[in-house]
Amino acid sequence: MSAEHHSSLLDAVKGQPKQVWITAFAAVIAFMGIGLVDPILLSIAKGLDATPSQVTLLFSSYLGVQVVAMLVTGAASARFGAKRTVLAGLTLIVAATALCAAAGSIEQLVGLRAVWGLGNAFFIATALSVIVGAATGGQSGAILLYEAALGVGLSVGPLLGALLGSISWRGPFLGTAILMAGALVLCAVFLKSDKHEKREPIKLLDPLRALKHTGLLRTSVASALYTAAFFAVLAWSPFVLGWSAIAVGLVFCGWGLCVAVAGVALAPRLAARLGERHAAAAAVFGYAVLMLVLAVPSKPVLVAGIIVSGLVSGLLNTLFTGTAMSISEAPRPVASAGYNFCRWLGGAVAATLVGHVAEWFGSPQAPFVASAVLCVVAGALLSLREKKADPHTLPKEAVLVGEEF
């Protein structure tokens, strides 16, 4: 890592106000929710007498609602202010996770995960603007903090799910509810009120209108295809492994740490060397190769592939978002909402179909092969030449890391 970039990492954590750290802590807990259920998928299936396809709906409902909600979060934040939007999201998450711990059927659990996804959409889409607005050291340092929160959440989520899930599958949900309730209280007390701030109105359809830009649309569709592969790993690998909650949790903890390191430390360097779009194209082709590695019917190979895939995912999470934020003239909140709508839609569809794909082809490796094909298509979309000069081949100091996961 260069000295220049290393100093930016140090600057990102120095002298930050309380509300930045509190929002970052809440973001860690929110991102934990993505991988929290991974280690307990088999326990949930057994405890609620559910099939693998039913259990993967826990991802589908969570992401599906989040997809639709992403279109309204910008408008809500513009109308009600960031603090009230964050608190509304956290309140929904606390209520949903607490009720998940008491669910009596897989249908109830799927429905409550949908409410959780709604709360997550309101929180995640607004948390970055809070951090950027309050952080010292500029936007790039604030984004590094956000990416660090993402990585920590993705790595701690599976570990917490494993530890509490070894007692009962209900434990991880209750634990998350308690942690998020603490984050809610801290945010309510320490986040500054923005009731009287002037905010530019954002219309509900503005994010979809932004996708009329060819470059943004192409990037968003490519990201959706990659995210489908990402959730094939996240939602299907535990069933292929068939291991205990602790074992699966440790595997995905290693995966999450790789996501964090690559997203914060490696992605900016690769973007500086190749440009964000070209770097994303190279990385997504690499992810396609890894998907074929995961399709090898060997559990040691699968474990190694999952952990290494975290490095490539960390690169892509940052590179895709950086490309989406700079490729069009749309305001960043609007471009981000349109991009995230497509991105999470890919994850929701994949989580819904992954179990069925394995059944249709009669092979537990089939979802990984299908994911490799999707990544090749994503790489091809990113490799298409733009009509005008590529704005992403910028000097090193001009490259910023991505804004949202």
- DSSP assignment of 314-328 equals HHHHHHHHHHHHHSS
pLDDT digits (tens, 9 = 90+) for 259-269: 888 888 888 88
- pTM comes to 0.81
pLDDT at 137: 59
Please report, for the chain, the start and end positions of each structural domain, with discontinuous segments joined by +: 3-398
pLDDT digits (tens, 9 = 90+) for 141-186: 666 677 778 778 888 888 888 888 888 889 989 988 998 898 899 8
Angstrom CA distances, 19 to 3, 183, 189, stand at 28, 11, 9
pLDDT at 334: 78
d(CA 163, CA 358): 29
- In CATH, the number for domain 3-398 is 1.20.1250.20
Residues of the chain with pLDDT under 50: 1-9, 389-405
pLDDT at 381: 94
